[in-house]
């Protein structure tokens, strides 16, 4: 989605989707989970339920797999952490 968005809309349009998703799932990091996989599953469930703001031009084309992929991208960028022991 990021590559397609980069070629078709202003960068801020994509960043807004990413930022809103981050705000929707970041609280999951603070939950007590038995393991990182449980935290990951909770974040992906929240991402799947997340609805991008309707006024964003990308909203009609964003799919659940895009949102889940964004969660992984946020983790790769060290904005989300699945395993607490890895963040220390």
Q: Are 14 and 2 in contact (CB under 8 A)?
A: yes
CA 46, CA 68: separation in Å to the nearest integer?
A: 9
Cβ-based neighbours of 3, under 8 Å, separated by 6 or more: none
Of the candidates 41, 29, 45, the one whose C-alpha atom is nearest the C-alpha of residue 80 is: 29
pLDDT (tens digit, 9 = 90+) per residue, 69-83? 999 999 999 999 998
Q: What is the pTM of this model?
A: 0.86
> Domain tally for the chain?
1
- pLDDT tens figures, 6-26: 778 888 999 999 999 999 999
Show Cβ contacts of residue 57 under 8 Å, excluding neighbours closer than 6 positions. 9, 13
Domain encompassing residue 47 = 2-87
What is the tens place of the pLDDT at every residue in 32-79? 888 999 999 999 999 999 999 999 999 999 999 999 999 999 999 999
Question: How far is Cα 28 from Cα 25, in angstroms, rounded to an integer?
Answer: 6
């Amino acid at each position: 989605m990021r590559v397609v968005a980069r070629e078709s809309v202003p960068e801020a349009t994509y960043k807004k989707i990413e930022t809103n998703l981050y705000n929707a799932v970041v609280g999951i990091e603070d939950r007590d989970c038995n393991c990182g996989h449980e935290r990951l599953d909770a974040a992906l469930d929240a991402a799947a339920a997340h609805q991008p703001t309707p006024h964003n031009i990308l909203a009609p084309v964003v799919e659940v797999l895009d949102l889940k992929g964004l969660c992984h991208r946020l983790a790769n960028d060290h904005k989300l952490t699945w395993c607490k022991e890895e963040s220390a």
